[in-house]
Structure formats: C-alpha cells, structure tokens
Amino acid sequence: MGVGAHYASQTREWTKNRKFEPNELYSEDINTADVEVRDDDETWTYVACDNDSPCPHCSCLQPHLDCIVIAVDGACKGNGSTDARAAAGVFVGKSSKYNKSTVLTESEATNQIAELKAGILGLSQAIEIQGCGVEGEALHQVVIKSDSKYLVEGMTEWVFKWEGNGYRTCKGVAVTNSALFKELEILIGRLNKLGVEVLFWHVPRSYNKQADELANLALQS
C-alpha cells in the first residue's frame, strides 16, 4: 500500500440515499476493482480516495484508511422448498478475523432472506470493527458491497418510503421481510450515531466472489 494512504475528510457530507456509485465519485470509466484497495497483509479492504490522482508507479488510487468495504452475500439451496437451507457470507479481507461463513437458523429459508441476513451480519461486523478500530483508528465509513439488487435497492430506495407508511406497499399490503429491513435500519442507525456513514454498493456477481464463496462454504458443512 502506497505512502499516500490517508484519512477521509470529516467535513464531507454524507450521501443521503446511501448509494455508493463509483461512476459518480470517480471517473465514468473507473474499473470496479480499482475502487477497492487492500492492505499489504490483506486484512482490510479500503475505499479508494475519490479526490486523488493515481500513483505514478502503479496507477492505483490511494486508500482512505478510515473507510472500508464489507462484501456480503446470501446463498440458499432448495429455494422455495420445505427443506431449503440458507447461509450468509461476509468478507472484510482475505486474512481478516471479521470474515463470516454462517448457516442461517430461520424457520423459513429463501434467497431474499439470505441476502438480507447477510447484510445484517455485515453491519453487525461493522459495529464490532468500530468498537475496536481499524488498525487502531476510528472507522468513519463502511460500504456494504452486494450483488443483491433486493438488498441494495431496498436500503437505498424502498425503505425510505416504507418508513413513512408503516412498511406497507402502494397497495396497502405488508412489506415482505419487513422485520429484516427494520433490523437493517436499526443497525444503520447505531453506526450513524457512532459517526459511521453506511453506504450500499450494488456490483455484478462476478465482483462478489469472496462473499459468495463464504456463503456457499457454510452450506457444505
């Protein structure tokens, strides 16, 4: 990791809709892989600085040391059947102690529930990280990376409407999995009160392999 690694400005405004959109923060042709910067021992995955010039030697952007990416994914075998099994994976870094590979114990197992539970597990890990610090420094931003449109759009678009109408759809029907969305909101609120901005990043499945592997690993046990 380069010597230009630094901390994000604490005067910057938080993103109101919680969306992490690299094409707006960086250049339009930014490579998804360049947004993430791993430290030398691959314990952390940092967010690349959006106000920096690439390193002249390696062409990489320097990281914000108080901003991390946590990749999450859910998996479900036998989705829709009575014997379905679901699991969640959380990836912080290749050698991170905060990685998780967990079988879910819910009575009902679906792909959507698995994705939301993965988000919950990722935010729970962020709270634990905030308490311990990132290499001894305070955490100020966490980007939840997911290939689930259901999770990301739910937390960056739909939930704001649901909060105002009692978690009902436009037809007045109770929102499916509302308890899990509410739990996500509670965890985000806790992090916000601790000074941590929470963003959600929707990526193609091919860019979320580590979390996917951890989720599926749990189902193999």
Give the pLDDT score at 19.
Answer: 98
Name the packing angle between helices 111-132 and 209-219 (round to 10°).
110
Is 2 or 61 the better-scoring residue by pLDDT?
61
Over the chain, what is the mean pLDDT? Answer: 91
Give the pLDDT score at 174.
Answer: 96
The string of pLDDT tens digits covering residues 112-161 is: 999 999 999 999 999 999 999 999 889 999 999 999 999 999 999 999 99
**Residue the block writes with tokens 């920096």:** 52
Give the pLDDT score at 28.
Answer: 72
DSSP H helices, 52-158, are 111-132, 149-153
The string of pLDDT tens digits covering residues 172-198 is: 999 999 999 999 999 999 999 999 999
Distance CA 1, CA 60 (A): 9
Can you read off the two tokens belonging to residue 141?
């931003």
Give the pLDDT score at 84.
Answer: 92
Give the pLDDT score at 30.
Answer: 80
Cα dihedral angle (50, 93, 113, 161), rounded to 10 degrees? -20
The class that CATH gives domain 22-219 is: alpha beta
The string of pLDDT tens digits covering residues 160-175 is: 999 999 999 888 999 9
Average of per-residue pLDDT across 72-82: 92
The string of pLDDT tens digits covering residues 7-57 is: 665 657 899 999 999 989 887 778 888 899 998 889 999 999 887 665 545
Which secondary structure element, helix H or strand E, spans residue 179, and what is its range?
A: helix 178-193
pTM for this prediction: 0.93
Give the pLDDT score at 40.
Answer: 85
Give the pLDDT score at 82.
Answer: 84
Residues linked to residue 144 through DSSP beta bridges, in sequence order: 70, 200
The string of pLDDT tens digits covering residues 195-205 is: 999 999 999 99
